[in-house]
Amino acid sequence: MALTLIVLLPFVGALLPGLMIRAGRNGCALATGAVTLLAFVLLMSQAPAVFAGEVVHARWEWLPAIGLDANFFLDGLGFLFAGLILGIGLLIITYARFYLSRNDPMGQFYTYLLLFQGAMVGIVLCDNILLLLIFWELTSLSSFLLIGYWKHLPEGRQGARMALAVTGMGGLAMIAGMLILGEIAGSYDLSTILQEGEAIRASQWYVPALILILLGCFTKSAQFPFHFWLPHAMAAPTPVSAYLHSATMVKAGIFLMARLWPVLAGTDWWFYIVATTGLFTMVMAAWIALFKDDLKGLLAFSTVSHLALITFLFGLGTPIAAVAGVFHIINHASFKAALFMTAGIIDHETGTRDIKKLGGLMVLMPITMTIATLAALSMAGVPLLNGFLTKEMMLHEALHTEWAGVPWLLGAAAVVGAIFSVAYSFRYIAHVFLGPKRDDYPHHPHDPPFGMYLPPLILIVPVVLIGLFPAAVAGPLVAVAADAVTGGNLPDYHLAIWHGFNLTLVSSLAALALGAFLLWRHRQANAVRLSVPRPEAKRIFETLVDGAAAGARLFTDGLHNGSLRRYLAVMIGACILAGATAFLNASHAPGGRELTHVPIITLLAWAVLIGACVTIVIFHRQRLLTLVIVGVVGMLVSLGFVYLSAPDLALTQISVEVVTVILLLLALNFLPKQTPRDSGTGRRLRDGLLAGLGGLGVGGIIYAVMTRDFTTISDFHLAQSKPGGGGTNVVNVILVDFRGFDTFGEIIVLGIAALAIYALLDGALNGPAVKRLRSWVPDQERARDRHPMMLVVATRVMLPLSLMVGLFIFLRGHNEPGGGFIAGLVVAIAFLMQYMASGFGWAERRMKIDYHLLIGWGVLAAGFTGVGAWIAGRPFLTSDFAHVHLPVFGDFELATAMAFDVGVFLTVVGSVMVALANLSRLARVTEGPISDDPMDVDPQRRGPGTGMPDAAHTGKAEG
């Protein structure tokens, strides 16, 4: 439980800064620090168990079907990293309180910081690689927010995008590698994977998994060729740089290499990829750092170099090198976080980070100078400081390891890297603090407030103490963490300042002397550097990104040209190809069911249906004729439903056909009567071939299913319709109970479609298109009889009868053919005929209903019915029923499904009427002012009749 709380606390605590900032900056910082402190205390409570060699576990089932569980474990390595994340995080929170200005949104900053902190703690305590991947991507997202915190700085936004692009790309590669690793081990739990080292290294998938995982590690830890994003992330506030780029985010890749060291290390692939990349990056980044004039730029490249040093040590693959790597993680976190903070102090107090504008600060900022000098000397590897110890261990391992049979190559390169490291560390001291005072500082330099230099001062304490008493101060932590890295194969070693006069000591002292000399000749070295071609990594990255974007745009524009026909052709062609591939690569056997006898009348109806479909294809350019034939097809389908004893479906189909044909006829009134010929012969042949193949495929599937015995859910529905749903009409019970959620979704979609029609036509009526509508001239003469008397009288007589039929169909729907959907369509047809016969304005004045609200009330009624089931402790939309007896009325049944059907009914009526109302608005725009009285036969008052309904604004009658 404690482990889970340690991970969850920063995420839960991220809610506090946004609230506490209203209590002031101090209250916000205290609340944030309290969250981190509580997590740190919980972590420290597990220290006795960890140092006793125990592994603490916490397991929670989440998605066991896919192997994703919320499992955590704490061993020495996890304890080390979690301690660094939470401990240094607490110092950063304190430092940021004094660093951020009053114009900076502090609550937002601390929220991002806690989200990042939680993601990092999640990574180091995870015992499930799928969950680890989630936390891994969360670090990328939260670091993106932190790096781009100063949104007003273009370089901040660019640095955030670059960091997200590079680390996100590596994260995608690592996802694939981790999945392969889990499949090899047979589990996604890290504690299980770590026991399968031999099987993993022996697998044929070892190399692909190794390369993919290392891509994730190298991108996150800024190793060549992905090193360039880290210096550009320095546009972030200094607390972000000190936290993310010294102790946490950039060490995520280092952590993963250490965590997987027992299963991935020990092969030539591991050695040559990891050690070579680490050593090359260490030397290259140290050389670049030497010539950076921006303090944070110098520290950024020095961070890349020291991360590469740790990578190199882990890449050597020996247990003692792994111990040195673990030791340097501790040392680097202490002196580099302190250095970043001092760089922020210098920038904060002098107004510049440019080394060329600094110097002589020793007298003006003595406290800052003392902290920075000790940290920089440790980074240089000066004796009696902690950086010296791990530099010695690194040089010893490099000097005693061969590379491709060459015994001196690694040692020589390591010494060169150490020389550059000494040079840029000494430069940080000499060019910033030494020399005469200047009179052109942007601001008058002075030491910062106590709260600002206290965090780096605290970090300097382990720098000195570990340097003086390594075994006593750092020994137990290094041992327990290194034991976890080496998988329990901890070698014999001794942390001490003095190991005798040997080649390692000579190399270390030589590096100090040559580094000082290189700094003395810094100007000449810089001239040499400038005379050599220098590829700019940022420019290369931007060129690659621009090229990739241009290629993607070219490819996308070539495929997505706005032609719906092309999209459908590609989609249908892909489906046909996939189906044909499956069919041709499988065995086939004829079905065992006998074919039923087909009466001659059924064959004739089928022939008419095929003929109608062929006619539509041939005459599809004639819109009115096509619409009429589509209606014929719908009626034939309805007859088919009747023949197959499906009266509900037949009623629904007929009602839908009537409504859609009428509405489409109204819409066609504003469209050309023929579609333009826009397809060449080749395209028509292609479309015909795709249609034919697709039809044959679907027909073949139907034939294969119908000629084979199979079990369906129909028996369940038939058996449970009455006892489970309270109705004998199985179709209606399915719609309102068994699959009520589907129906609920469908009426929502229907309502959205109606509102989309309103939005589209409203845009046409209130936008540039309205001018074209007003000047539109019909392409043929219209009927002069606007409201035919026979139609007016007939529809008024039929209205109450139609409403009674709709009510009857609605009430009988649970036990007989009918229901809310069919009833809604019948009532909509009744209203629609009134509007068509007597005009929209006349009908609207007599039926003042807001159809938009009708849709909303319908969806709400259906939704509240489902919520009622929840309140009763039943699944959503589960219906209930009961038999009641009332005087006079007698015995009858009541079901909650009726309320759901009411919602369906209202939504259907509202959707149809919204479409009709807005098509009528178009008619008013094109016709101009006319009489709304259907009894008015004066042509002068009517204006040019159209035979179509007149229009008024939706929900408001017009005189």
pLDDT of amino acid 108: 93
The answer on pLDDT for 411 being more than 70 is: yes
Question: In 3D, which of 210, 172, 195 has the Cα closest to residue 186?
Answer: 195
Long-range contacts of 469-476 (CB under 8 A, 24+ apart): 470/386, 470/389, 470/495, 470/496, 470/497, 471/495, 471/496, 474/327, 474/330, 474/386, 476/51
CA distance 637 to 652: 11
Question: In 3D, which of 77, 76, 59 has the Cα closest to residue 68?
Answer: 59
CB 394 within 8 A of CB 414: yes
Phi-psi category of residue 494: left, alpha or beta, with phi > 0 → left and psi -120 to 50 → alpha: beta
Neighbours of 194 (CB within 10 A): 19
What value does the mean pLDDT take over residues 213-240? 91
Tokens of 439: 């009179």
> Residue 884's beta-bridge partner residues?
892
Tokens of 873: 């402790």
**Alpha-helix runs per DSSP H in 872-938:** 897-927
pLDDT of amino acid 770: 66
Q: Which of 543-547, 572-576, 817-821 has the highest mean pLDDT?
A: 572-576
- Indicate the DSSP class of residue 149: -
Neighbours of 891 (CB within 10 A): 8
**C-alpha R_g of the chain:** 39
User: In terms of DSSP bridges, do strands 881-886 and 56-58 run parallel, antiparallel, or are they unpaired?
Assistant: unpaired
The tokens 């103490």 sit on which residue?
A: 465
CB 117 within 8 A of CB 111: no
pLDDT of amino acid 956: 37
Long-range contacts of 804-810 (CB under 8 A, 24+ apart): 806/830, 809/651, 810/901, 810/905
What value does the mean pLDDT take over residues 878-886? 78
Neighbours of 141 (CB within 10 A): 15
The answer on pLDDT for 941 being more than 60 is: no
CA distance 368 to 80: 28
pLDDT of amino acid 737: 85
Q: Which of 451-465, 731-745, 751-765 has the highest mean pLDDT?
A: 451-465
CB 180 within 8 A of CB 205: yes
> Residue 18's beta-bridge partner residues?
none
User: In terms of DSSP bridges, do strands 881-886 and 72-74 run parallel, antiparallel, or are they unpaired?
Assistant: unpaired
- Of 63-72, 334-343, 367-376, 414-423, the one with minimum mean pLDDT is 63-72
Q: What is the pLDDT of residues 775-819, one digit of tens each?
A: 666 666 665 556 778 888 888 888 888 889 989 988 888 888 888
CA distance 797 to 783: 24
CA distance 531 to 524: 11
CA distance 265 to 318: 9
Neighbours of 568 (CB within 10 A): 12
CA distance 316 to 266: 8
Q: What is the pLDDT of residues 228-261, one digit of tens each?
A: 888 888 888 999 999 987 767 888 999 999 999 9
- Identify the burial level of 199 via C-beta atoms within 10 angstroms of its C-beta, where 0-12 means exposed, 13-18 middle and 19 or more buried: middle
**pLDDT over 70 for what percent of the chain?**
94
**pLDDT over 90 for what percent of the chain?**
47
Q: Tally the C-alpha atoms within 13 A of residue 553's C-alpha that lie toward its C-beta.
A: 6
One-letter identity of residue 337: A
Read off the pTM.
0.70
CB 787 within 8 A of CB 837: yes
Question: In 3D, which of 837, 904, 856 has the Cα closest to residue 877?
Answer: 904
Question: In 3D, which of 607, 648, 661, 592 has the Cα closest to residue 832?
Answer: 661
The tokens 């101060």 sit on which residue?
A: 473
The answer on pLDDT for 939 being more than 50 is: no
CA distance 76 to 893: 69
Instruction: Give residue limits of the domains in the chain.
Output: 265-520, 526-559, 731-959
CA distance 212 to 180: 9
pLDDT of amino acid 948: 39
Long-range contacts of 40-45 (CB under 8 A, 24+ apart): 40/83, 40/86, 40/87, 40/90, 42/2, 42/5, 42/6, 42/9, 43/6, 43/79, 43/82, 43/83, 43/86, 44/83, 45/2
- Of 201-215, 329-343, 862-876, the one with minimum mean pLDDT is 862-876
Question: In 3D, which of 289, 163, 167, 295 has the Cα closest to residue 230?
Answer: 163
CA distance 369 to 342: 8
The answer on pLDDT for 761 being more than 90 is: no
pLDDT of amino acid 774: 65
Confidence category of residue 661, pLDDT binned at 50, 70, 90 = confident
What value does the mean pLDDT take over residues 708-726? 84
pLDDT of amino acid 938: 44
The answer on pLDDT for 345 being more than 90 is: yes
pLDDT of amino acid 611: 92
pLDDT of amino acid 739: 85
Confidence category of residue 537, pLDDT binned at 50, 70, 90 = confident
CB 107 within 8 A of CB 21: yes
Give the Å distances, CA to CA, from 336 to 314, 425, 777.
20, 11, 79
pLDDT of amino acid 954: 38
- Of 279-293, 474-488, 639-653, 757-771, the one with minimum mean pLDDT is 757-771
In sign, the C-alpha dihedral spanning 553, 555, 558, 559 is negative
The answer on pLDDT for 120 being more than 80 is: yes
- Of 641-655, 787-801, 817-831, 924-938, the one with minimum mean pLDDT is 924-938
Residue count (the chain): 959
What value does the mean pLDDT take over residues 111-117? 95
pLDDT of amino acid 879: 81
Q: What is the pLDDT of residues 190-213, one digit of tens each?
A: 999 999 989 999 999 999 999 999
The answer on pLDDT for 953 being more than 60 is: no
pLDDT of amino acid 156: 86
- Indicate the DSSP class of residue 73: E
pLDDT of amino acid 421: 95
Helices 295-316 and 276-290: angle between axes, nearest 10 degrees: 160
The answer on pLDDT for 730 being more than 90 is: no
The answer on pLDDT for 678 being more than 70 is: no
Mean pLDDT, rounded, of the chain: 87
pLDDT of amino acid 221: 92
CA distance 254 to 862: 55
CA distance 363 to 51: 45
The answer on pLDDT for 932 being more than 60 is: no
CA distance 515 to 524: 14
pLDDT of amino acid 771: 67
Confidence category of residue 945, pLDDT binned at 50, 70, 90 = very low
Q: Does 793 or 954 have the greater pLDDT score?
A: 793
What value does the mean pLDDT take over residues 529-545? 80
pLDDT of amino acid 940: 40
CA distance 370 to 372: 6
At 359, is the secondary structure helix, strand, or coil? coil
One-letter identity of residue 339: L
The answer on pLDDT for 952 being more than 80 is: no
CA distance 132 to 139: 11
Q: What is the pLDDT of residues 77-106, one digit of tens each?
A: 999 999 999 999 999 999 999 999 888 899
Give the Å distances, CA to CA, from 769 to 136, 562, 656, 666.
51, 21, 30, 18
**Alpha-helix runs per DSSP H in 400-492:** 409-433, 450-468, 470-473, 475-485
pLDDT of amino acid 927: 58
The answer on pLDDT for 441 being more than 90 is: no
Confidence category of residue 838, pLDDT binned at 50, 70, 90 = confident
CB 157 within 8 A of CB 124: no
Neighbours of 764 (CB within 10 A): 18
- Residue 445: phi and psi, rounded to 5, are -70, 145
CB 399 within 8 A of CB 411: yes
CA distance 306 to 282: 7
Is the peptide bond preceding residue 225 cis, with omega within 30 degrees of 0? yes
Neighbours of 347 (CB within 10 A): 20
Q: What is the pLDDT of residues 271-314, one digit of tens each?
A: 999 999 999 999 999 999 999 999 999 999 999 999 999 999 99
User: In terms of DSSP bridges, do strands 56-58 and 72-74 run parallel, antiparallel, or are they unpaired?
Assistant: antiparallel
Question: In 3D, which of 876, 856, 906, 862 has the Cα closest to residue 752?
Answer: 856
Q: What is the pLDDT of residues 360-395, one digit of tens each?
A: 999 999 999 999 999 999 999 999 999 999 999 999
One-letter identity of residue 630: V
Q: Does 845 or 653 have the greater pLDDT score?
A: 653
